[in-house]
């Protein structure tokens, strides 16, 4: 079982219009969908046929819309509810392919509801893997993040896809796998060199780093191992959600591991298979129109086109 935690869920609203005329009335087509990186992780796992439960804090009418969309998508979920209003993200897409994003910050989590969320996570003690992905809600303190990360640790293996100070906090909490991209890792660590940045988060306590490299594929580095996998022919498309597919792939691989988390990361055969699946799945997500989805037929094809090396 995989628990996919979204600390700051959103109602993603997409407005499609021929052109955006500032200061004028614009007629639009509208699509509303539950959003947040952890929800995307749960969607991909559901499509893969792997059991996963989405968790997070919801509020207000936006929260109800998020919960309804998740339910109608067939996903399992355990939400914690509070007063206020969950955030919305608005994406205005024009016919020339340009998009304008308007992102609300989200609702501050009240202490009682935060305790309920932590309790929901801990209720899954020893069941498999926990992922924690995306932005943090306003006002979440470092001690609160520590509590949430340690609750996730009680579930089993932990994968964190966070940014900035939160990424470093996750490393210090000893998560099994960090999943930043190159820019996020350098920004969080303050390093100018990727090798130094990887070394820093490993020294802080992370078990390994799965580093997204765009068209150059995916790198998995930890103490005593450093591997990279890539496609022989890169896929062009929408990269939104590709990183969430990487998290889903590694979460499934760790949940299925027979050697335990530490043993899996140190096993070359497991690393090859996990990297192969993650690269193919993220590329198949690039070819899909929406985050949290992937092209299933393309995924099966791409598994045969992943190249791999280990230093």
More confident residue, 287 or 187: 187
Residues assigned a catalytic role: 244
Distances (CA, A) of 200 to 129, 168, 188, 205, 209: 24, 9, 10, 9, 11
Q: What is the pTM of this model?
A: 0.94
Least Cα distance to 295 among 303, 286, 304 occurs for 286
Q: State the Cα–Cα distance between residues 32 and 129, nearest whole angstrom.
A: 29
Number of structural domains (the chain) is: 1
Is residue 96 over pLDDT 90? no
Q: State the Cα–Cα distance between residues 259 and 169, nearest whole angstrom.
A: 27
Average confidence (pLDDT) over 264-281: 94
**Model pLDDT for residues 214-260, shown as the tens digit of each residue:** 888 999 999 999 999 999 988 887 787 899 999 999 999 999 987 67
Q: Which residues make Cβ contacts (< 8 Å) with residue 189, sequence separation at least 6?
A: 168, 196, 197, 200, 201
The fraction of the chain above a pLDDT of 90, given in percent, is: 84
CATH code for the domain of 74: 3.40.1190.20
Is 201 within 8 Å of 168 (Cβ atoms)? yes
276 in helix, strand or coil?
A: helix
**Model pLDDT for residues 55-89, shown as the tens digit of each residue:** 999 999 999 999 999 999 999 999 999 999 999 99
**Model pLDDT for residues 43-59, shown as the tens digit of each residue:** 999 999 999 999 999 99
Which range marks the domain in which residue 21 is found? 2-310
Least Cα distance to 180 among 168, 192, 172 occurs for 168
């Amino acid at each position: 079982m995989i628990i996919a935690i979204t600390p700051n869920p959103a109602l993603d609203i997409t407005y499609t219009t021929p052109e955006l005329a500032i200061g004028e009335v614009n007629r639009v087509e509208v699509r509303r969908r539950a959003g947040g990186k952890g929800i995307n992780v749960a969607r991909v796992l559901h499509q893969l046929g792997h059991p996963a439960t989405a968790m997070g804090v919801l509020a207000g009418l936006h929260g109800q819309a998020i919960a309804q969309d998740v339910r109608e998508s067939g996903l399992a979920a355990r939400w914690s509810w509070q007063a206020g209003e969950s955030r919305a993200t608005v994406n205005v897409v024009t016919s020339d392919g340009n998009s304008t994003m308007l992102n609300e910050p989200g609702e501050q989590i009240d202490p009682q509801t935060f305790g309920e969320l932590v309790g929901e996570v801990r209720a899954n003690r020893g069941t498999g893997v926990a992922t924690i992905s995306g932005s943090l809600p306003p006002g979440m303190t470092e001690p609160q993040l520590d509590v949430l990360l340690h609750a996730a640790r009680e579930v089993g293996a932990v994968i964190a896809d966070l940014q900035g100070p939160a990424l470093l906090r996750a490393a210090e909490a000893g998560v099994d796998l960090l999943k930043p991209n190159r820019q996020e890792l350098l920004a969080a660590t303050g390093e100018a060199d990727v090798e130094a940045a990887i070394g820093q988060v490993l020294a802080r306590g992370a078990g390994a780093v799965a580093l997204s490299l765009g068209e150059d594929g995916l790198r998995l580095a930890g103490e005593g191992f450093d591997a990279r996998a890539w496609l022989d022919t890169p896929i062009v498309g929408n990269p939104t959600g590709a990183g969430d597919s990487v998290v889903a792939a590694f979460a499934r691989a760790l949940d299925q591991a027979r050697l335990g988390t530490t043993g899996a990361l140190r096993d070359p055969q497991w690393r090859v298979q996990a990297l192969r699946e993650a690269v193919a799945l993220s590329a198949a997500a690039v070819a899909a129109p929406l985050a949290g989805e992937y092209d299933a037929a393309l995924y099966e094809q791409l598994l045969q086109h992943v190249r791999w090396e280990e230093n």
